[in-house]
Amino acid sequence: ENWQDVKVYLIKGDSPESRSPLLLADNSPWMDIPFTQGNVLKKLKEELPVVNENWDKVKSEVEIVRRMAAEERERKKIEEEEAKKKATEEKEKLEERLKTIPKVDLTKDEDKGAIKQVIEQGEGEVPKKGDSVKAHYVGTLMDGTVFDSSRKHNAPFDFVVGEGRVIKCWDLAFTNMKVGEKAVLTCQPEYAYGENGSPPTIPPDATLRFDVELLSFEPKMKDEL
């Protein structure tokens, strides 16, 4: 605990009988062997040839590791900036395109609570109530903040459609989509998470946007009918 009394010794010798302590550092004020990292290393290099021989090699290898780590940090920074720039450009392009794409009101009362805009047409039949659906989605707030994404994790979302297991907007949208179809959904609060939201990512009374793609679906099994 008293650093004024610290002493560092090197035990030399090949056998217990021949071993002897060599003082490398002494922090006492009356000794001219300062207790510093540099001084201890200097003494070790003087007393142990192998330390002296390998010290420059060790320093070189440490510098290489540090340089590689710095280069990796810079590479990741550049990749993140490029990805952010690309995402911004794609968002701007999509916003411009959406201005020209018809809006389909999916609600029975035509209250515009669930709007679909088709980005890319699909093929075949549409899922029916109770079918098992597999889809990709990116969910954002209207300011562009992403709150969830299956694409980010490369994990398509599976759910049963038309039975209230997802938000109303999704039940309405996916029963009107064909396999391969890509669309943008705009969901008013009453067709999404309502006045409570879904803390902490979705605030109360939030209008949401989803970029969705129907990958596949399987009809409800006969024994489930």
Q: What whole-number distance in Å separates Cα of residue 216 and Cα of residue 222? A: 19
174 is catalytic: no
Q: Is the dihedral of CA 118, 122, 123, 124 positive or negative?
A: negative
Active-site hit among 26, 131, 167, 171: 167
Active-site hit among 131, 193, 202, 217: 193
137 is catalytic: yes
In 24-62, which positions are buried (b, 16+ CB within 10 angstroms) versus exposed (e)?
bbbbeeeeebebeeeebeebbeeeeeeeeeeeeeeeeee
3-state secondary structure of 82: helix
Element (H, E) at 185: strand 182-187
Contact 215, 135 (CB under 8 A): yes
Q: What whole-number distance in Å separates Cα of residue 28 and Cα of residue 111? A: 85
In 197-209, which positions are buried (b, 16+ CB within 10 angstroms) versus exposed (e)?
bbeeebeeebebb
Active-site hit among 35, 137, 157, 159: 137
Active-site hit among 115, 210, 211, 217: 210
| Alpha-carbon distances of 214 from 95, 118, 156, 158, rounded to whole Å | 21, 12, 10, 10
217 is catalytic: no
Q: What whole-number distance in Å separates Cα of residue 132 and Cα of residue 76? A: 39
The number of beta carbons lying within 10 Å of the beta carbon of residue 83 is 10
Active-site hit among 148, 157, 159, 205: 148
210 is catalytic: yes
Active-site hit among 147, 157, 159, 205: 147
56 is catalytic: no
148 is catalytic: yes
Q: Which residues are catalytic?
A: 137, 147-148, 167, 193, 210
